[in-house]
Amino acid sequence: MKPVSRVLVVEDDPDIADLMRRYLQKAGYEVEVRAAGRDALTLVQANPPDLLVLDLMLPQVSGLDICRSVRADEKTAAIPIIMVTARAEESDRIAGLDLGADDYLPKPFSPHELVARVRALLRRTARTPALDPTLVYGPIALDTAQHTVTDAGNPVVLTAKEFLLLQYLLRNRGRVLSRDVLLTDVWGYKYTGGTRTVDVHVRRLREKLPLLESALLTVKQFGYRLLETAPDVEAPTSPRS
């Protein structure tokens, strides 16, 4: 029997938390709820969930600080994170994405949309072997079965969405990919948060994998193209995370 995915909801509004819990449980997920940031961090570290739904404004520890802490720990760095908040300013959304959030859902939202986003993100981060489990591009090696990435043998820690975006780029090298196509195929639905989401994730991939600075080209006002063949670059001399 397929194991039930565990979702941790971190939300201090009891009505909203109860609404999310009921709809996610109805969709077949095991759901735990925490109202305070410190309590959520303790649970994540003790028993990491399969996915984290995280409010931005929380008592004790903010959602941004939780996101930063989760991404900094190798044991929890790959947990998919959906950030939920009433603050819909672009600066807040970009701050969350910069820290490693995979998705962003502004309040008020439809609970059906939340379930759809949770389902899409979990489906695309499932650690199932592919026909070609290892993708190699110059010094970069992506193992779809182990869900790991190395650069010249050095481990590189990616978030769930960064991993999926890199995998998609490697499988479609040489093709010009629009931001809309990347949002639909990698995020799993017609994303309403704007194409800036793609740009933030691409920038983080370039920072973590320096080869992509020259190999992943920006197609002005359209999208991106990964060169068919990896350019020659000097290999890194120490591990990065």
Q: What are phi and psi of 197, to 5 degrees?
A: -55, -45
Domain boundaries, the chain: 6-125, 134-226
pLDDT of residue 71: 86
CATH (residue range 134-226): 1.10.10.10
pLDDT of 132: 60
pLDDT at 92: 67
Buried b (16+ CB within 10 A) or exposed e, 142-165: bebeebbbebbeeebbbbbbbbbb
> What's the confidence (pLDDT) of residue 241?
43
> What pLDDT shows up at residue 85?
80
Which CATH architecture fits 6-125? 3-Layer(aba) Sandwich (3.40)
In this prediction the pTM is: 0.62
In this prediction, residue 75 carries a pLDDT of 84
Exposed e or buried b per residue across 173-189, where buried means at least 16 C-beta atoms within 10 angstroms of its C-beta: beeebebebbbeebbbe
Run means of pLDDT, 10 residues per run, the chain, 241 residues: 84 94 95 93 92 89 89 86 76 73 85 91 65 84 89 91 92 89 77 72 95 94 90 57 43
